[in-house]
Amino acid sequence: MSIVRRLGLTFGLPIILLAAWWFASANSTDFFFPPLSEILTALKDEWFGPRLLADVVPSVLRLLAGYAVAVVVAVTLGVVIGTSRTVRATLEPVLEFFRAIPPPVLVPIFLLLFGIGDGMKIIVIAFGCMWPILLNTVEGVRAVDSVLSDTARTYRITGTARLRTLVLPAASPQIYAGLRQGLSVAIILMVISELFAASNGLGFAVVQAQRSFAIAETWAGMLMLGLLGFLLAMLFKLVENRQLAWYHGLRRAQRSS
């Protein structure tokens, strides 16, 4: 697929939707639905101005910190659970219990335990987005080809070498599926965690704008959240395509055969 076609498929629909929004709202006099031109002006003046360093950067740093903690904990625990039936049978009831609890419900408890600083917000993000990563890692490890496992055992490839050369590469497509889902959850929880006892951040700033009836700034904040999610998704896709190039190549070969 050519670069021009790929860019057209990626940006074509957003451009069409923005153009439709622009013309549909051009003459709007509704206080709650201002023209898109006014919203874009607020986006440029506020979110790409003073709020970029004051609110956007702290939010992104919290998101990345929480996501990194979730990745390390979930992948490590997922490999252990996926490779041991005993550990899986022991931990599964506890994990299912905590997985069923919505992370926003735990925010007041985390506030009591960890205070109102960035640590609480990072823990909320990490706790919520680790579950899709953990479950996908477990399933990916459990689905390792039995023939490959027997071959590794025959050649006495065990321990760290087996983990590095067999388990993680074989499970990596499933792990990356969980990482993609976890990133979406992390963005949502980043906003939710900033609604409680926060003094900066995207979620805090959007709520403050809404409470002060700064409608254009509120819409601009939501656009900023969308842009942030889009950019993070594109970066993740670049990393995934690079790390799983062998897998995507195999899939293409299978489809063409």
Q: Of the given ranges (17-26, 135-144, 147-156, 177-186), which has the lowest mean pLDDT? A: 147-156
Report residue 27's pLDDT band, with 50, 70 and 90 as the boundaries: confident
Q: Domain 34-256 falls in which CATH fold?
A: MetI-like fold (1.10.3720)
Q: From the centroid of its chain, how far is CA 251?
A: 25
Residue with the bigger pLDDT between 183 and 199: it is: 183
Q: Give residue-wise pLDDT tens across range 52-101.
A: 898 999 999 999 999 999 999 999 999 999 888 888 888 888 888 888 88
Gap between the Cα atoms of 252 and 254, Å rounded: 5
Quick check: 1 pLDDT over 60? no
Predicted pLDDT at 152: 79
**Average pLDDT of the chain, as a whole number:** 87
Q: What is the dihedral of CA 228, 234, 239, 242, to 10 degrees?
A: -170
**DSSP code of residue 33:** S
What is the pTM assigned to this prediction? 0.89
Q: What is the pLDDT of residue 257?
A: 64
Burial of residue 239 (number of CB atoms within 10 Å: 0-12, 13-18, 19+)? exposed
Q: How confident is the model at residue 2 (pLDDT cuts 50, 70, 90)?
A: low
Domain residue limits, the chain = 34-256
Whether 198 contacts 107, CB under 8 Å: no
